[in-house]
C-alpha cells in the first residue's frame, strides 16, 4: 500500500513538474488566472451541475423566502466564476456577481444570456475580503459555492458578507425575521442615522418656511410676492445644500474612506 501511494505521488509530481516550473518563474498565476482556470471551470461546471442538480435545486428552493418586504430578492454571488448557479435562482432575482478574476466576465455574459429569468445587476471585480463597491445592508442573500476553501482570509470574507446583508433580527422562536418587524420609529431612527442629511434638510426646510410665514406680517413695505420668493429660495437652497452634502458624504463613506483609510463601511 505504502509503495502504491509513493508511486502515485511520484507520478503526480512528475506530471505537475511544468506547473512548479511556471510557478517558480512567476508565470503560473497569470497563465492560470487568464487562460487555464476559466476554461477549465466552464467545462467542469457542466458535469458538476448535472451531478449536483437535485441538491442545488433543494438548496436554493428557499431563496425567495428571504426576499425584502417589497418582494424583491437581491442576491450577491461571491466567487461567481462562470455563473453556474444562475439557473437555480428564482425568477426576477436581482443578481450581483463578485469575483477577483475579471476573465470570468465573458462566461458570465453567456450564462446571463442563457438564464433570462434572473435580472443581472453588475459584475464587481473584487476579492470577497474587500467588497467595498457593494453597499452595507444592500443584499437579501449571499451565495458562495466552492469558494471559501481557497480564499486567503475566511474570517474577513464572513465579516464582509455580514456587512452587505440586510439587517435582520432573531424572533423569539429563534427564526430569522426580516426587518419589516422593526417598529416605525426605530426604522426612522436607523434611516436617519444612515442618511443624516435627509432629516437635516427637512428640518431646515421647515424652519425656513416657518420663519418666513412668521415674518409675513412684519414685512414692512416689502411686496408679499417678493417675500414669498425669498422664502422659497432660502428653503429650496437649504434642501439642495443638504442633498449635495448627503451625496458627498455617501461618496466619502462608500468609496474614499474604505479605500484610502482602510476603514470598513459602517
Ligand atoms: C472553484 S470556483 C467556484 C465558482 C462558482 N462559485 C461555482 O460554484 O461554480 C472558485 C471561484 O472563487 C473565486 N475566488 C478566488 N478567491 C476569491 C476571493 N478571495 N474572493 C472571492 N472569490 C474568490 C475564483 O476566482 C473562482 O471564480
pLDDT digits (tens, 9 = 90+) for 111-168: 999 999 999 999 999 999 999 999 999 999 999 999 998 898 999 999 999 999 998 7
Which among 139, 134, 144 has a CA at the least distance from the CA of 67?
139
Q: Is residue 45 within 8 Å of residue 53, measured between CB atoms?
A: no
Atom of ligand 1 nearest to the CA of 81: 27
Which of 76, 145, 72, 84 is closest to 114 using CA atoms?
84
Q: What is the CATH number of domain 45-164?
A: 3.40.50.150
Strands 176-177 and 169-170, how do they pair? antiparallel
- Cell numbers standing for residue 226: 417678493
pLDDT band at 263 (very low <50, low <70, confident <90, very high): low
Pocket test for ligand 1, best of 89, 99, 105 (most atoms within 8 A of CB): 99
- Separation CA 242–CA 11 (nearest Å): 68
pLDDT (0 to 100) of residue 181 = 52
Across the chain, mean pLDDT equals 85
Q: How far is CA 126 from CA 111, 123, 227, 236, in A?
A: 20, 9, 54, 40
- CB atoms < 10 A from the CB of 3, how many? 7
- Asked if the model's pLDDT at residue 264 lies above 60, the reply is no
What's residue 225's pLDDT?
A: 87
Q: What is the number of helices (H) and of strands (E) in the chain?
A: 10, 6
Separation CA 28–CA 126 (nearest Å): 20
Residue 266: pLDDT band with limits 50, 70, 90: very low
Distance CA 204, CA 89 (A): 45
Ligand 1 geometric centre to CA of 73 (Å): 22
Which residues does a 6 A CB cutoff place in the pocket of ligand 1?
A: 41, 45, 78-81, 84, 99-101, 104, 127-129, 145-147, 150-151
Q: How far is the CA of 242 from the centre of ligand 1 (A)?
A: 41
Q: What whole-number distance in Å separates Cα of residue 158 and Cα of residue 148?
A: 10
- Percent of the chain past pLDDT 70, that is, above it, reads 91
Question: How many angstroms does the Cα of residue 85 sit away from the middle of ligand 1?
Answer: 12
Domain ranges of the chain: 45-164, 184-258
CA 148 to ligand 1 centroid distance, Å:
8
Closest-CA residue, ligand 1 atom 27, reads 81
Q: What are the φ and ψ backbone dihedral angles of 161, each rounded to 5 degrees?
A: -60, -45
What pLDDT digit, counting tens, does each position of 214-225 carry? 888 777 788 888
Whole-model pTM over 0.85: no
Give the CA dihedral 215, 217, 218, 221, nearest 10 degrees. Answer: 120
Amino acid at each position: 500500500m505504502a509503495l502504491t501511494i509513493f508511486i502515485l505521488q511520484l507520478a503526480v509530481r512528475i506530471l505537475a513538474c511544468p506547473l512548479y516550473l511556471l510557478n517558480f518563474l512567476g508565470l503560473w498565476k497569470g497563465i492560470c488566472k487568464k487562460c487555464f482556470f476559466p476554461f477549465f471551470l466552464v467545462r467542469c461546471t457542466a458535469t458538476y451541475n448535472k451531478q449536483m442538480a437535485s441538491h442545488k435545486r433543494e438548496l436554493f428552493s428557499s431563496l425567495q423566502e428571504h426576499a425584502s418586504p417589497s418582494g424583491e430578492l437581491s442576491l450577491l454571488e461571491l466567487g461567481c466564476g462562470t455563473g453556474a448557479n444562475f439557473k437555480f435562482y428564482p425568477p426576477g432575482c436581482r443578481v450581483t456577481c463578485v469575483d477577483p478574476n475579471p476573465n470570468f466576465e465573458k462566461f458570465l455574459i453567456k450564462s446571463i444570456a442563457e438564464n433570462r429569468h434572473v435580472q443581472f445587476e453588475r459584475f464587481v471585480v473584487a476579492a470577497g475580503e474587500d467588497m467595498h463597491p457593494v453597499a452595507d445592508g444592500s443584499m437579501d442573500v449571499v451565495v458562495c459555492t466552492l469558494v471559501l476553501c481557497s480564499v486567503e482570509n475566511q474570517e474577513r470574507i464572513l465579516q464582509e458578507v455580514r456587512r452587505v446583508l440586510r439587517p435582520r433580527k432573531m424572533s423569539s422562536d429563534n427564526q430569522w425575521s426580516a426587518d419589516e418587524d422593526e417598529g416605525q420609529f426605530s426604522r426612522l431612527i436607523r434611516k436617519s442615522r444612515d442618511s443624516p442629511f435627509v432629516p437635516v434638510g427637512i428640518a431646515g426646510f421647515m424652519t425656513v418656511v416657518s420663519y418666513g410665514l412668521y415674518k409675513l406680517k412684519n414685512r414692512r413695505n416689502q411686496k408679499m410676492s417678493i417675500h414669498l420668493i425669498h422664502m422659497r429660495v432660502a428653503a429650496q437652497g437649504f434642501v439642495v445644500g443638504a442633498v449635495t452634502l448627503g451625496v458627498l458624504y455617501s461618496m466619502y463613506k462608500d468609496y474614499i474612506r474604505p479605500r484610502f483609510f482602510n476603514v470598513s463601511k459602517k
